[in-house]
Amino acid sequence: MRLLLLLSTLYLLRGREVGVGGQSCKPPSSPPFNISQDQGGLSVTVNGVQVLQHNAVHPMLFVGEGQDKVVEFSGNFFITPYVEQRVALTNFTLSEAADGGYNLTLSYATYWVTLRLSAGVATPLVVAIVDSSNNYNRLWLRVPAVADERVYGGGEQFTYLDLRGKVFPVWTREQGVGRNKSTLTTFLADQLGKAGGDYYTTYFPQPTWLTSRNYFLHYTGSNYAVLDFRNPQFFEMFVEEDTSGAEWHFQVQSSLSDLVSCLTGLLGRMKPLPTWLYEGAILGVQGGTEKMLSRLKTATDKGISVRGLWIQDWSGTKQTPFGKRVFWNWRWDSDHYAGLNDTIVSLRKSNVRVLAYINPSLDMRGDLFSTAKDEGYLVKNQAGQTYLHNSGSFRCGLVDFTNPAAYNWYKDDVIKGNMLKLGLGGWMADFGEYLPVDAALYSGQPASLLHNQWPRLWAQLNHQAVSEMGEAGEDVVFFSRSGFSGMGNATMLMWAGDQNVDWSMEDGAASTIPASLSLGLSGVGLTHFDIGGYTTYVLPALKMVRSSERLLRSAEHAVFGPVFRTHEGNIPSVNAQFYTSPYMLDCFKRLVDMFTALSQYHQHVVNVTYFTGLPAQRPLFLNYPDDEGSYKVQYQYLYGDDLVVAPVYLPNITTWPVYLPADPSDTWVYLWNTSLISPGGSSLTVRTLIGQTPVFYRNSSAFVDTFVKIGKMLPIPPPTLPPPTPTTDSQHTTDPGTGLAQRWGGSLVLICLSLFLCKLM
């Protein structure tokens, strides 16, 4: 069946220039780039698009000196660069290099940098530093821009799809709680845990941008960098520390979709997922074997197709002053999950897999920590002692992936030995953002240069463990939260991390949409999210719990994506769950039925990602670059070529606006009312009951019969429900600190600390 779907996908892609798992870039022109000089300056173009310019008034390179202040609190990093000197390299000399390309030396006074401009293997222009005065520790590269130019990429961005007018640091870190400095949630999280985040905080940054002038720029280094898109005349990339060997790759194509394909050819392209993922839900449950099986029985008795049980507490739990926490000692706890080994075998006979959880840290109370410490496998501090970091209510060590022995031990003994040989069908590969900048690594490399690489090393370790199992690992899937350049070859699947269970734009369900779109434009095309969100709290004067509506709207959104996986949240007892009531069970059965009815379409979409590099969830303009309205939409997406999906991310909604791109050769049909047909190019408002995500399909799609079938699956009439819990996340414009402290007294500290702890597993 998998081969048949692959062949079917190739047939549907006929006429497109694709390569199976390889590049699908159109070849560069000859010569691949051009340099012209006039009036004391130069201009570099690729396929007629100007990508670099330099003259005394508009220099392309600045160098400088400075030092940074770095503050870190449990994965939340605050970097304040202090620039002591910034020098424009206004002078230049250009010469042809003996081995092809050009040498461009930019200088001023005692500062100089020699750049090699040459054609690369995968890109028509590579700019590399080949020599310098070495008397600076930071630089700024400027690229010309035009006033109406749009810019995308930057990795996984949760707040903005078009990055124009903003600044984006490239530094993997915790995403934050709230991510909006004007909200109470973010304010409280900041007060003690410094965990509130901001519009730019992300688990997965990437020094890559693509623009509406149809070029991309990718920086190959892992230094701390900043992408600055504020100026109307230029874009600027700031890079710190050692830039020797740094390269900037430029690519120009005729469309953004071709650029994305080229980018995946450069950075790596994701492989197809195991097909069992499309056949049912992965239910997030916990509490031991008996409870796990009870939840499964509740679902299957209702007729819900279940293909996975994800148990994050498989390694046991530990009581802490702030409640039970997962024990970060990555081996099966046979007391907590009695008979799990036999249960896994039994469940596989019913096509149900058990998935688990792991991260790169070890609780110092566990035997794995003791082994790692004794063997010297843990990251050390500058004094040569084990670097212990605080995880809120316990301390742990971080495995040093630059130590080959430590890397292999974690891969072979922990993941292969304790997880894969147990029979697990997959796991959440959490964290990866926490490497401190003052750590001492086995390799001797500066931790500041390895920090951004750590997520890729972590994903790569997981991937190798699965691959080395051969046939036993063929249908295993793990999913990553953190990332950096090159994740397409390192991970199997991304997930969007920890969203709030509320309706906030910056950290609720809505934020997962621009996150998936920006990630896809950055070359990583397969991702998903926790159905219902994760971050929950019940505190004096502050309450954020998941309503039935929030859970169901999230689940109906997940139907139109490659993976359907639930999460109970960090306080399951107060959150609505799929098993909360007969009504919720009925709704979930219908939604899972819809998801499984789309199984062949899911597989087709993922195969297209493999063949072309185009993401499964993509912005409308990627397919419709001539439709101006598509560029203004960041909370809708195309799922594959055939579906426009407009998830409902606000409460108490019965109608919802949808923008449809103009398709000159086709029309759009509303999934829930096939008499509603539109040529696109405009917005319209549709009726949307709970369970009816606004979705339109292309009338000429090869999957029309499937879409019609789903459209006939009517939503479940709701019983009389209590009104949704009103949000408590109000805005403030004055300093709230004193008033909050007076009103809540000593509970403020507890509130802040609890907000911070709810982000830690």
Give catalytic residues, as residue numbers: 430, 433, 498
Tokens of 52: 């670099």
Coil, helix or strand for 363?
A: strand
> What is the DSSP code (8-state) at residue 510?
G
Q: For the beta carbon of residue 383, count every other beta carbon within 10 angstroms.
A: 7
Q: Is 486 left (phi over 0), alpha (psi -120 to 50) or beta?
A: left
Strand segments, DSSP code E, in 321-464 are 323-326, 353-358, 361-363, 388-390, 395-398, 426-429
How far apart, in whole angstroms, are the C-alpha atoms of residue 215 and residue 54? 18
Output 367-373 pairs: Cβ under 8 A, ≥24 positions apart.
367/329, 368/329, 368/330, 368/331, 368/414, 369/329, 369/396, 369/397, 372/397, 372/399, 372/406, 372/409, 373/397
DSSP string, 252-306: E-SSHHHHHHHHHHHH--PPPPPGGGGGSEEEEE-S-HHHHHHHHHHHHHTT--E
Q: Is the dihedral of CA 154, 160, 162, 167 positive or negative?
A: negative
Is the peptide bond preceding residue 321 cis, with omega within 30 degrees of 0? no
Cβ-count burial of 621 within 10 angstroms (0-12 exposed, 13-18 middle, 19+ buried)?
A: buried
Burial of residue 25 (number of CB atoms within 10 Å: 0-12, 13-18, 19+): buried
Which amino acid is it at 577?
A: Q
Give the Å distances, CA to CA, from 611 to 96, 298, 479, 670: 38, 39, 21, 29
Q: Strand 49-54 vs strand 41-46: parallel, antiparallel, or unpaired? A: antiparallel
Q: State how far the Cα of 499 lies from the Cα of 262, in Å rounded to an integer.
A: 31
CA distance 561 to 544: 26
Handedness of CA 571, 576, 578, 580 (dihedral sign): positive
Q: Tokens 């991309």 identify what position?
A: 216
In whole angstroms, what is the distance from residue 336 CA to residue 91 CA? 69
Q: How far apart are CA 439 and CA 385, in angstroms?
A: 10
Distance CA 49, CA 605 (A): 32
Is residue 543 classed as helix, strand or coil in its secondary structure? strand
Pairing between strand 537-539 and 542-544?
antiparallel
Dihedral angle, C-alpha 477, 482, 483, 487, nearest 10 °: 0
Report the amino acid identity of residue 278.
Y
Question: What does the chain come to in residues?
Answer: 761
Nearest Cα residue to 461 out of 377, 384, 519: 377
The number of beta carbons lying within 10 Å of the beta carbon of residue 642 is 24
Tell me the residue type at 343.
T
How far is CA 12 from its chain centroid? 28
